[in-house]
Amino acid sequence: MAVMEKSDVKSAGQEAIPVKNPVTGATIGSIPVMTRDEVQAAAQRARAAQPAWEALGVKERAKLLLKWSDALIADLENAIRIIRSETGKNRMGAWEEVIVIASTVNYYHYRAPGILRPQSRRPLVIGKQKAKVYYKPHGICGFITPWNYPMLNALQDLIPALFAGNTVLHKPSEVTPLTSIYAVELMHKVGIPKDVIQIITGAGTTGAALVDVVDYVAFTGSTATGRKIAMRCAERLIPCSLELGGKDPLIVLKDANLDLAASGTVVGGLDNAGQICISTERVYVEDPVYDQYVEKLKYYVQQMNIGTGDGMFDVHMGSMTNERELLKVEDQVAEAVQKGAKLVTGGKRRPDIGPLFYEPTVLTDVNHDMKVMREETFGPVIPVMRVKDADEAIRLANDSEYGLSGAIYTHDLKRGEALATRVQSGDMHINCTQWIFGMPSLPMGGVKNSGLGRRNGPEGLLRFVKSQSLVIDNQLMDKPKLTQLDPFTMRVALLLMKLRRLLPRLLV
């Protein structure tokens, strides 16, 4: 699937969506809007290709995916250029996307054969029966993904689906399709068959058509769209996973190292210009250290260099990607200020740098009546609230429709761990933020309106298979009979039930 040049669009006579560079505003390509029939045709090709892909075996699939990951790393600079051209993010942000994907391939290359191996379980009648579990791919998995991390958020999910023997239809965001097109073309170049992974281009209507033809949907995006997809999957009785929005809390306890807490908040809240599902979107600080923390946070935020430069460590924040998100940020900041919040720093667009740049912003005197503390912001804004103690911080952290990630800063790691498990979220960090994305071994996902299911770890692979259980009987001492049980089997079953109480490790 090649990106269409402007002239191609006209000759194809097909509806097309332009792709823009957010920093320059220039159109850098365009994608066709695929129709329902075209999506259906792609699904037929995927279905035809699936048995051979499954038959190849997990080790052979792993070799191909490792070859692809090596090719990606060899082409790192080009990958970074493409990601940056359609997102406007800084160089480090794009580097992270590629490296996390390569380490996801490494992880599953090593782990997937073991996780997917048929398992033996305890049968009812030991010596006579065997019990086994096989894992089989769903068939075709559909991936509908967002624009904020066009490589990471698309590929981190679909890599394990390929390991598991599924074929894949991938519809990237219409805002940032070029990264996925590039990555999938590279897969084809290293030998992954073309129909095993196909790109589907278009916006919401094409995404809806995709949901209608696949056997599993992995969606990453807004809660509103996720809900629509879940309803359609329920109608079709197909499984899905939903990685949705967040409003992640960060709690600073009075024993925390305040410099590390403040600079950690900068990374948590302003990395990728705040356009991360697990961005720090609310900060709660214990009263005795509140003023000191706010001073330090202001200091670190004001050290940030925002811009378009290519430096790895000296450009801390790039452009926002979407006008829609920028307008939401402005609306939330204006509403908070109008309701009494104090603007500590930032709060303005920076058209002198680029059309979608917005200053890193800190607000204080906020409360839960304000949108900035309740709705997802998805921009470079950190609202900070004073709390009486840790209990109040946990209560407020849980006062949200979302539950994705979060962080606690404290010197007391044991207490931090105990408090973290009281937060309603899919993951928590103690004295750091965002690292969950870089650890493919850890399951990641949301509770409440932040979603269903988990990516990464064994959980993130097992969602792409269905189990098939086998009971194998060697017919020891069997005679023809007209009932399931006979006196001998009943006696053995009762005896085993008693023995299993006494020897659970051996017999359960």
CB-CB contact of 251 with 297 (8 Å): no
36 near ligand NAD, judged by CB under 6 A: no
Task: Tell me phi and psi for residue 140, to 5 degrees.
Answer: -110, 125
Specify whether 60 is catalytic: no
Kindly identify the residues of this chain, within the stretch 300-319, that bind ligand NAD according to CB under 6 A: none
Asked if 244 and 403 touch (Cβ cutoff 8 Å), the reply is no
Tokens of 62: 């792993």
Reduced 3-state DSSP string for 72-92? HHHCHHHHHHHHHHHHCCCHH
Counting contacts by CB under 6 A, is residue 218 touching ligand NAD? no
CA distance 268 to 274: 8
- Residue 83 interacts with ligand NAD (CB under 6 A)? no
Of 117-125, 244-252, 347-355, 360-368, the segment contacting ligand NAD by CB under 6 A is: 244-252
Which H/E stretch holds residue 114?
helix 91-116
- Out of 86, 96, 97, 243, which one is annotated catalytic? 243
Q: The tokens of 89 are what?
A: 């993010």
**Counting contacts by CB under 6 A, is residue 199 touching ligand NAD?**
no
**243 annotated active-site:** yes
Residues in contact with ligand NAD, counted by CB under 6 A, come to a total of 30
CA distance 450 to 307: 31
Stretch that binds ligand NAD, among 183-191, 225-233, 259-267, 296-304 (CB under 6 A): 225-233
Answer whether 139's CB lies under 8 Å from 47's CB. Answer: yes
Question: Is there binding between residue 171 and ligand NAD (CB under 6 A)?
Answer: yes
Residue 104 or 220: which CB sits closer to ligand NAD?
220
The CB-of-144 to ligand NAD minimum distance in angstroms stands at 5
What is the residue type of 502? L
Establish if 321 lies at the interface with ligand NAD (CB under 6 A): no
Q: Does the protein bind ligand NAD through residue 28 (CB under 6 A)?
A: no
Containing 121, the helix (H) or strand (E) segment is: strand 119-121
- Binding of ligand NAD by 409 (CB under 6 A): no
Binding positions for ligand NAD, 127-156, rule CB under 6 A: 144-148, 153
Distance CA 314, CA 507 (A): 61
Residue 174 binding ligand NAD, by CB under 6 A:
yes
Helices 152-163, 91-116: axis angle to 10 degrees equals: 20
Question: Interface with ligand NAD includes 65 (CB under 6 A)?
Answer: no
Instruction: Give the residue with the Cβ less far from ligand NAD, 195 or 376.
Output: 376
CA 182 to chain centre: 20
Task: Count CB neighbours of 34 within 10 A.
Answer: 23
Q: Considering only residues 436-495, where is the footprint of ligand NAD by CB under 6 A?
A: 446, 451
Q: Which of 228, 254, 298, 349 binds ligand NAD (CB under 6 A)?
A: 228
Q: Which residues are catalytic?
A: 243, 277
Enumerate binding residues for ligand NAD (CB under 6 A).
144-148, 153, 171, 173-174, 203-204, 207-208, 211, 220-222, 225, 228-229, 243-246, 277, 376, 378, 404, 446, 451
